[in-house]
Amino acid sequence: MNTLITPWALLLLFLCTTVGICQTPDNLGQQGASLHGSFVDADDGQPISDVLVRVASEKIERVYPDRDFTHETETDAEGTFWLTIPNEPQTYYAFSLMALHPRYQAKLLRWEMSPGKSRYDLGDIALKPLLSLQGTVFSASPVHAVDELVVRLKMHNKSADFFRGAAPPEHTTRPDAKGNFRFSELYPIEYSLTISRNHVILAYVEQVNPQNRQLISVRLPKLKTLRGRVVDTQQRPIAAAQLYATRHRETPHGHGALLATAQTDAHGAFQMQVLETAPRLLSLEVSKKGYFSRVYQNVDIGEEPLVVPLEKGIAIVGQVILPRDIPSEGYYAVKVFPANTPMAPVLNPLRLNRPVLSKRFPVTEPTFVLDGLFEGKYTLYLVGEGISATGLDVAASANGKEVLIVADVPTVVLRGQILWADTAQPVRNAVVSRSWYPWELSRYDMSMTLDRFETETDAQGQFAFENLTEGRYQLRIRAVQATFENATDALSGLQNAPTPYQRRFIQKHVEIPASGSAYRIYLGRRDGTPFAK
C-alpha cells in the first residue's frame, strides 16, 4: 500500500530527527523552569542511574513550605535528569529537591528561584552509599543456639532531620550458626542494639553508629533472678498481676528496653530472669485491673525479695443529659482533672494541663463509669461533637453517690476574615492558630499533635474553627506579604519583568469571643483595631 507524504510531513520529520525530540503543540505551550543535573557516587565519582528525583515548588504566600513533591523523574544511565516545574514568578519562590535510591543515602536540597530565570543547572550532586553494621554474638551457654536469637537496632530520638525522616526507625535480623550478623542499608545515625530470645533481652548496647565501621562483638552474660510478692493494702496476695522490668536509657537521645515480663501466681509470688543492670537504670512496673499501677525505681536485683503493695482504685458513676439533636452514632467523652486545675485557654504547647483520665462513651449510653481513681476531689468535664464543655466538681470515695451532668448546650463556630490593613485585600494562606482549653486535650497530647488547633485562610482570607464551647479564644495569625517592583525602561517606555520580590513575615495576636459572629481582622503596619464585627 502506497502512502502519500506531504511536504509539511517531510518538514516535520526533518525537525524531529534533527532536534531529537518531537514536541506536540501541548508540549510547546507549557511554561516552567527547567531543572538539569547529575547524580554521582560520593566515593568514586561514578554516575548513578535510576535515582528517583522528586521536586516540590514552594509558594510565595505560604508561611510553611508545601513540600508536595508532585514532580518527579529518574536519572538515566549517565546519572542525568531533566525536569520542568511551575515558574510563575508571583506564585513560586523556591523549590526543594529530594533524591532517593535503594543503595544510597537520601538527600534533600533547596534552591531559591529568581523571577525571569527559566533554567537551573544544578551541576553534579553527590550521594553517599548506605552503610552496613556487622558483629558477632558469643553465647555464655552452649545449650542455646545463637541462630535462635533476635538482634534489633532502634534509631535514637535526636532532633528531627531529613535522615530520620527517610530512614526506617528499626531493623531486625538473626545471627547465623556462628553468631555472625549483619545490617545493611543504614544511615549515619546512632542506634541502640538489643539481643533477645523469646522476648527476653539478653544483651543491651546503648549506642552504636554504622558510620564508625567497627565490628561489634557481644558476649551474652548470665541473667539474674528477680523475685518478690504483690499484695494489697491488707497484705493479702494479688494473683495475675503483671510485672514489667525496664532498663532505662543512659544518654538523652537513647532508648530504654523492656527486659522481661512476669505474672504473679495464686500466692502473689513472681520471679523473672533479668539482664544484670545497675539499680539506677532498672525499674519495675506492677499493674492489675482495678488497682493502681506502681512503678518502682532503682531496683537492686541482689536485694531481698520485693514486696509490692497495690492500692485498689475508686470508681465514679454518673448520668448525662445531652442535646436532643446529637446523632445516635456519636460519642461523648468524660475527662477528669484534679480539683482546682487552671482552665484558662493557652497558646503555648508547653503549658499543658492534661486530664488524668479520659474515657469515651456512645451517646446511646447515658450512664458512665470512671474507675481507677484515687480517693479525693476532682473536676469532670463532659465534651463531644456538638456538645459544649460542661464541668462538675465531684468527690471520689468508696461509698460515693451517682453524679448527674447536664450538657445540653450546643457548640458554636468561630469564623473570621483576615485583611491587609493598607489595601483591605484578603490575606490568603495565612496560618491561624487558636488557643485551647484543657478539656480539649487527651492524656497523651504532645506539641506535635496540636496542629488540629490550626487552620489556613482561603482565597478570600476566611477561616473557621467549628465545634467550640462559647468563650474567649486567643488567635495567633502568621502570614507572608510578597512585594514586587515593576521596572520601566527609560528609553522604550516598556515595562520590564518584575524585579525580585520581597517576602515579609507578619504575625499578630488577638483575643476574640466565640459566639457565632464573624470578625474582620486587619493585618499589616496600619492594622487599626484588633478586630471588628
Residue whose C-alpha cell reads 459566639 in the numeric block: 515
What's the pLDDT score for residue 68? Answer: 82
What percent of the chain has pLDDT above 90?
64
How far apart CA 105 and CA 187 sit, in angstroms, is 7
Of the pLDDT bands very low, low, confident and very high (cuts 50, 70, 90), residue 15 is: very low
- Cα Rg, the chain, nearest whole Å: 32
pLDDT digits (tens, 9 = 90+) for 113-168: 987 789 999 999 999 999 999 999 998 666 568 888 999 999 998 766 667 677 88
Beta strands in 52-211 (DSSP E): 52-59, 71-74, 80-85, 92-101, 104-112, 119-127, 131-138, 150-155, 170-173, 180-186, 191-197, 200-208
Q: Report d(CA 405, CA 391) in Å as an integer.
A: 8
pLDDT band at 284 (very low <50, low <70, confident <90, very high): very high
Residue pair 70/97 in contact by the 8 Å Cβ criterion: no
Helices H, strands E: what count in the chain? 3, 35
Domains of the chain: 30-127 (2.60.40.10), 131-219 (2.60.40.1120), 224-310 (2.60.40.1120), 314-406 (2.60.40.1120), 412-523 (2.60.40.10)
pTM of the model: 0.73
pLDDT, tens digit, 9 for 90 and up, residues 420-455: 988 899 999 999 999 999 999 888 776 666 788 999
